[in-house]
Amino acid sequence: MGFLAFLVDQIQEISCYTFKKLIEKYEQKSRLWKKLESGFEFLEFSSWDQFYYRMCYNEMPPSSG
């Protein structure tokens, strides 16, 4: 299970612009993971992209429709 979490983290770091911005924003991955954990518990979101965007910019992403 730990390997799977590591793999997902590495894929996100390579391919997701917002995830990269989150890493820059919180500077340390340990701090980032604490923020993501608390956000996951208290925020509503319909996709991981929406979750990361909301954590990064403190607002919902612009509507795509």
If phi over 0 gives left and psi between -120 and 50 gives alpha, with beta otherwise, what is residue 63? Answer: beta
Tell me which residue of 65, 64, 38, 40 sits closest to 51, measured CA to CA.
40
DSSP state of 27: S
What are the boundaries of each domain within the chain?
A: 16-65
The pLDDT tens digits for 9-59 are 788 889 989 889 999 999 998 899 899 899 888 888 898 889 999 999 988
Please give the pLDDT value at position 24: 92
Tell me which residue of 59, 15, 63, 5 sits closest to 37, measured CA to CA.
5
